[in-house]
A and B are shown apart, each in its own frame.
Chain A
Amino acid sequence: AQSVAQPEDQVNVAEGNPLTVKCTYSVSGNPYLFWYVQYPNRGLQFLLKYITGDNLVKGSYGFEAEFNKSQTSFHLKKPSALVSDSALYFCAVRDSGRRALTFGSGTRLQVQP
């Protein structure tokens, strides 16, 4: 069975500061890892994915994520946070094939001006 843990319910950061949203995963076989963002009353928007290759993955809106196999982590990062980044962030995992995503519980990011 696959699972995802997002240990922080909320992350607060000042605008202009770097941000990190944590994610650890458990999956049999090679992991396929994703980050999605959800704004209020909206659908989930894809940010980035790791399938294979470089451990540092760059995505939309200046976000990036670092895959660490030994720590089974896939933390989301951004060098300089914007107030407009405030939203709910979900980490998700699946194994290979046309398989469903398993989501973490979500982390609410609050960027203060």
Chain B
Amino acid sequence: AAGVIQSPRHLIKEKRETATLKCYPIPRHDTVYWYQQGPGQDPQFLISFYEKMQSDKGSIPDRFSAQQFSDYHSELNMSSLELGDSALYFCASSPGGNGEQYFGPGTRLTVT
């Protein structure tokens, strides 16, 4: 069965650089979520999209932005990167309001 695809899987950036993370949800899933998991931490919700509109917002810094495109893939744009942004970034998709969220393998971002 198709799963959530995230690219790249690993990314190394320097402080103050920008990064773009991509997420391709499971086909026919209408909602996409972004989470950040710091080392030894639980995943923290950043932002979500339903039918290409932002549906919920969590602890996403102002330096970050995201959008969902017409083909339902989503991109998380991160600017002015800081050392503390180093984390595993997960994308998840769900088929509806009551559905479980299926997580991608994550993108490991390292900021040096």
Interface of A toward B, CB cutoff 8 Å: 32, 34, 36, 41-46, 49, 51, 90, 96-106
Q: Is B64 at the interface (CB under 8 A from chain A)?
A: no
The answer to whether B106 touches A43 (Cβ under 8 A) is: yes
Interface string of B67-101 (1 = CB under 8 A from A): 00000000000000000000000101010111011
The answer to whether A103 touches B42 (Cβ under 8 A) is: yes
Q: Distance (Å) between the CB of A21 and the closest chain B CB?
A: 14
CA distance A41 to B10 in the complex (A): 11
List chain A residues, Cβ under 8 A from B27.
none
Given contacts A43-B90, A96-B97, A96-B98, contact A102 B103 (CB under 8 A): no
The answer to whether A100 touches B58 (Cβ under 8 A) is: yes
The number of chain B residues touching the other chain, given as a range, is 20 to 34
- 7 cross-chain pairs, A with B, having the tightest CB-CB distances, nearest first: A100-B45, A103-B42, A44-B103, A43-B103, A43-B105, A98-B97, A98-B31
Q: CB-nearest residue of chain B relative to A34?
A: B100
The answer to whether A90 touches B94 (Cβ under 8 A) is: no
Q: CB-nearest residue of chain A relative to B42?
A: A103
List chain B residues, Cβ under 8 A from A106.
42
Q: CB-nearest residue of chain B relative to A104?
A: B42
Q: Distance (Å) between the CB of A27 and the closest chain B CB?
A: 14
| A–B Cβ pairs within 8 angstroms, 11 of them | A42-B105, A43-B103, A44-B43, A46-B102, A46-B103, A51-B98, A98-B48, A98-B94, A99-B56, A100-B56, A101-B45
Q: Which of B48, B56, B100 contacts A46 (CB 8 A)?
A: B100
Given contacts A98-B56, A100-B56, contact A46 B101 (CB under 8 A): yes
